[in-house]
Amino acid sequence: MSFRNKLLLIKTIIRQTLAYASTLWGYAAECHLNRLQATENKLLRMAIDAAWFVRNSQIYRGLEWEPLREFLTRKAAEDCEKGRRHSNEKLRNLVNYTPEDLAPRKKRPRHQLAHYGNR
């Protein structure tokens, strides 16, 4: 299979499958997101037949590929923005969420990916 076809397969099937459920990945634990990121790194390495010493950041830069965590964060932000502009008032109220509203016993925000860039 050619390089172009391998990359197309990753973009159209795997990335879009993750994008379909992107709002749910905000509730996933760090270890699960790290495992997904590692799987994506392996797939990209196999697609371009990269040597072991090539850094993942070089692969992303060379392919103009967005890392999975940043992709999911961007998709979550887009979905929140769609909710803010929605005509249904109840849906708009769901999107207006602040982590300070949580009880002290809950340690992390309800949607972890929305706050990823603020760490």
Predicted confidence (pLDDT) per residue in 65-116, tens digit? 999 888 888 888 888 788 888 888 887 777 776 655 555 555 555 555 555 4
Q: What is the dihedral of CA 102, 106, 111, 116, to 10 degrees?
A: 110
What per-residue confidence (pLDDT) applies to 29? 82
Per the CB < 8 A criterion, the answer to whether 10 and 41 are in contact is no
Per-residue burial over 34-59, b if 16 or more Cβ lie within 10 Å, else e, is eebeeebbeebeebeebeeeeebeeb
What per-residue confidence (pLDDT) applies to 74? 86
d(CA 10, CA 43): 8
110 is in which domain, residue-wise?
A: 3-118
Per the CB < 8 A criterion, the answer to whether 80 and 72 are in contact is no
Cβ–Cβ contacts within 10 Å for residue 12, how many? 10
How many domains, the chain? 1
> Which pTM does this prediction carry?
0.70
